[in-house]
């Protein structure tokens, strides 16, 4: 399934713990994920927050950190097409770190909840550290299985919120500068006025801009962006 492709093929290299802006996270959240990536005895972590708050970034970054320490790590997005349900969930595990994203996609599916409950218990017995993420805290997820909800609530809780516009602008400029791209105030204003403002979309757009600017040997200007994104002047 797509969520189990090797991280190096599926996710960009900048999804690292050191590249996560902690202003949108409750205190200690990145440190808890770093510990989970390095230590089999570390507390398990449950991340909650709305779309665009950085949950996927942190889960993938923790997996990258584990792999860098020669530990076996796996990320699975439960809301993706072909994501595991029921018996397929029971086949997961067997590594050092297992990160499950978008748990809200399983809520209300009794068979999937029981499979996740069994996976939770098996990973606990085998010494696999689990990381979870959902759009709501465990108590607010419409789970049919109270024991599963209570186990998820027992994890270390990391609360996330989207960065404000100033934070998103700062990160986009930093990502651009690392590629040798200068984004002046006019270009930034144009992007934030006409394009989706969530950070993941903006960083993906920056990849496209970088490739096009390099191919055309041009600076990133508003006329260049209009041409690239096929917007009328």
Last residue of a domain, one of 125, 143, 159: 159
The last residue of one of the domains, among 131, 159, 187, is 159
Q: Are residues 69 and 128 in the same domain?
A: yes
Give the total number of structural domains in the chain.
2
Q: What is the pLDDT of residues 182-228, one digit of tens each?
A: 999 999 999 988 877 777 788 888 889 999 998 999 999 999 999 99
- pTM over 0.85, yes/no: no
Domain end: 104, 132, 159, which one?
Answer: 159
List, for residues 48-57, the tens digit of each pLDDT value. 999 888 899 9
3-state secondary structure labels for all residues of the chain: CHHHCCHHHHCCCCCCHHHCCHHHECCCHHHHHHHHHHCCCCCCEEEECCCCCCHHHHHHHHHHHHHHCCCCEEEEECCCCCCCCCHHHHCCCCCCEEEEECHHHCCCCHHHHHHHHHHHHHHHHHCCEEEEEECCCHHHCCCCCHHHHHHHHCCEEEEECCCCHHHHHHHHHHHHHHCCCCCCHHHHHHHHHHCCCCHHHHHHHHHHHHHHHHHHCCCCCHHHHHHHCCCCC
Q: Do residue 147 and residue 203 come from a single domain?
A: no
Residues 9 and 121 in one domain: yes
For residues 128 and 49, membership in a common domain is answered with yes
What mean pLDDT value characterizes the chain? 88
Residue 213 is assigned to a structural domain of this protein: yes
């Amino acid at each position: 399934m797509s969520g189990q492709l090797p991280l190096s093929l599926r996710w960009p290299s900048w999804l690292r713990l050191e590249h996560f802006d902690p202003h949108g996270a409750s205190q200690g959240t990145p440190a808890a994920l770093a510990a989970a990536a390095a230590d089999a005895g570390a507390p398990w972590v449950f991340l909650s927050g709305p779309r665009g708050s950085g949950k996927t970034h942190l889960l993938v970054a923790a997996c990258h950190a584990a792999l860098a320490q020669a530990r076996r790590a796996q990320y699975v997005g439960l809301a993706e097409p072909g994501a595991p349900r029921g018996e397929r969930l029971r086949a997961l595990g067997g590594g050092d770190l297992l990160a499950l994203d978008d748990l809200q996609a399983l809520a209300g599916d009794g068979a999937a909840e029981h499979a996740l409950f069994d996976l939770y218990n098996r990973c606990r017995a085998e010494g696999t550290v689990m990381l979870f993420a959902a759009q709501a805290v465990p108590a607010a997820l419409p789970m049919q299985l109270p024991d599963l909800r209570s186990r998820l609530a027992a994890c270390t809780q990391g609360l996330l919120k989207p960065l404000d516009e100033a934070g998103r602008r700062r990160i986009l400029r930093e990502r651009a500068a690392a590629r040798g791209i200068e984004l002046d105030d006019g270009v930034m204003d144009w992007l934030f006025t006409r394009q989706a403002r969530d950070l993941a979309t903006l960083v993906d757009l920056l990849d496209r801009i970088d490739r096009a600017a390099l191919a055309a040997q041009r600076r990133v200007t508003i006329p260049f962006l209009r041409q690239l994104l096929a917007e009328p002047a």
